[in-house]
Structures are given as structure tokens and as C-alpha cells.
Amino acid sequence: MDKSWITKSRLTQDYRIGVKGFLDFAFGKIKADMLKCQCQRCCLAKFKSRVEIEGDLMCHGFLCTYTNWDLHGEDLEDTQQAFSLDHQPNVDQSDSSTFIDSSTFNLLADIFPSMKSDPPNMDSDPPNIDQHVHLYFGKWLKRRIEKNDKRFI
């Protein structure tokens, strides 16, 4: 499918035809009344109707980085950039890019003081986020109660 219209001016006939073609494709593949809007303002974060999406695409433009329409029914085989999942590059575990460097970890530790002082080991189990959330909000609620905040009693 030709996607060259995505980068063209919204005033061109090619762009208008491309938008109509995309909407026909997306709403034809996915039988739904609302889909994620791929305009530059919504950035695939909001569900909208066909009419709303068309208006946004004409007003704000198509998200130019969204060239594989996998969220709108396009199969990987349909794209020219299809690849085999069997041929993933090997990642060297000794490579420093696979770990969080110390400056990044220090920044995160400043933001989240309840974190461990050591950088995470990628071989260990991931931290339990629920425990961190309950611990944080439990301490927060306890402080509110100790301050005799009437909203929480």
C-alpha cells in the first residue's frame, strides 16, 4: 500500500485521497465504531469515530512516524519492513547498553528514594510494583492520619 501521501501537504488531493483510503482500510479491517486517532495531536492515545479522525487528520496532519498500521489492522506481512522474529540480534550481556548506567540510576534514586541503592541486576526477578505502590501510599495515608487530616478519617 502506498503511504507516500502521509508526508505530503494536507492541502493536496493526494493527501485527501490517502486519508480516505486509510480510513476505508482501517474501518474495513477492524469492525469497530471507534479507533485510535493517528493525528499529530492525538498520537494514537485517543479513540475517536471515523468522522472525528478524518477531521483531525485534515486539521492536524497524520502522525508521520506511524507507517506500519498494525493498530489499524495491517499485518506485518503486508508491510515492506516485515522481518522474521527468528532472526533477532544476539545481545551481549557484558555490553553496558543493556544495563542502566550509574548516572541514570542515581537520577532515578533521587526521584524515587525508596529504590534500592544498587543498580538492578537484569538476571534477577523484576521488582513487584504493587508492593512499592502499597508501601508508598500506605506511608502517605499514615502521615495524613497522623496529621489528623479529617478527609481520610
Q: pLDDT tens digits, residue range 97-111?
A: 445 556 666 666 667
**Residue 91 clears pLDDT 50, i.e. is over it:** no
Cβ neighbours, 10 Å, residue 56: 20
The secondary structure of residue 119, as a DSSP letter, is P
Amino acid at 133: V
Backbone dihedral angles phi then psi of residue 146, each to the nearest 5 degrees: -65, -35
Neighbours of 1 (CB within 10 A): 11
Segment 67-85 shows an average pLDDT of 50
**Core vs surface per residue 12-31: b (16+ CB within 10 A) or e:** eeebbebbeebbebbbeeee
Whole-number pLDDT of residue 77: 47
